[in-house]
Structure 1
Amino acid sequence: MQKLNSIFLRTFIISTGVLVSSLCVFILPGVAQETAHLNPEVAYLQYPILLGMYATAIPFFYALYETLKMIAIIERKSVFSSRLEQGLNYIKYCAYVILVLYISGFFLLDYSNALPPLVAVIGIVIIIITTLVATGAAFLKHVLIKSRLNVN
């Protein structure tokens, strides 16, 4: 049963990575082009915004990689490993980097009066989800440390 769960988790994480990379390669440039065409007054921000979104994809993919490594560690029955704690730290830091990039981009666009409502809504959703991921990773790390102290 546990092997089936880890296979399902790996499949889900890999398919999430493939989906996000497909969005980055195929969908984002077209959306940026269309947005620049619809809003010519902010068309000069097309490539900086696209670059900012690609910059946030790097920590996202690293967090997925760390998650796959953590699943491999759990499969080896070393649940109380310090490597799991380190992996949770990396995921939390990746979430912080994404948060900083999106919040700074959000304020930068708002300051220059170039923040379309759809981009604002998408940005707020991503900020909320990233905050939840960072909080969840910190909570899991706390639980892992607490349970490791109770076992010893």
Structure 2
Amino acid sequence: MKKINSVLLSLGIIAMGIIVLFLCVYLLPILAQEAAAVHPEVAYLQYPILLGLYATAIPFFYALYESLNMIYVIERKSLFSSSIIKGLNYIKYCAFIIIALYVAGFIILDTANAFPPIMALAGLVIIIVSLMVATGSVFIKNVLLKFPLSN
């Protein structure tokens, strides 16, 4: 039963990564072109915004990698391993990097007066989810630190 759960969790993480990769490669450039065609006054921001979104994808994919690595460690070794704590720290840092990049993007778009409300709502949802992931990883790390760790 434990093996089935870890396989399903791994498949869910891989599926999430494939979906986000599909969005980054195919859907985001199309949406950026359409937005530039609809709002030509801010078309010069098309590629900087795309670059910013791709920059946030890097820590996202790294956090997915760390999650898969933690599943592997839990299967092979133990839940109470020091590499689990390191993985949780990396996930926390990735979440904070995503938050910082989105806040910086908000500030840049606001100063350029090119901040559509739907983009603000989507960015706010991503910031809140990233904050929840960071908080959850810190909580789990603190719970695991109360138990003796094995290497």
Instruction: Provide TM-score, normalisation by structure 1.
Output: 0.95
Q: How does 1:66-77 map to 2 (within 5 A)?
A: 66-77=66-77
Q: Alpha-carbon deviation of 1:146?
A: 1.4
Report the counterpart of residue 28 of structure 2 in structure 1. 28
Residues 93-125 of structure 1 deviation map (CA, whole Å, 9 limit, x = unaligned): 000110100001011101211101111111111
Q: Alpha-carbon deviation of 1:19?
A: 0.4
Q: Alpha-carbon deviation of 1:148?
A: 3.0
Q: Alpha-carbon deviation of 1:147?
A: 2.8
Q: How does 1:103-142 map to 2 (within 5 A)?
A: 103-142=103-142
| Unpaired segments ≥5 residues, structure 2 | none
| Unpaired segments ≥5 residues, structure 1 | none
Structure 2: distance between partners of 1:25 and 1:53:
11
- After the TM superposition, which segments of 4 or more aligned residues of structure 1 sit over 3 Å from their partners? none
Aligned residues: 149
Report the counterpart of residue 60 of structure 2 in structure 1. 60
Structure 2: distance between partners of 1:73 and 1:47:
39
CA RMSD of aligned residues (A): 1.0
Instruction: Provide TM-score, normalisation by structure 2.
Output: 0.96
Structure 2: distance between partners of 1:38 and 1:143:
50
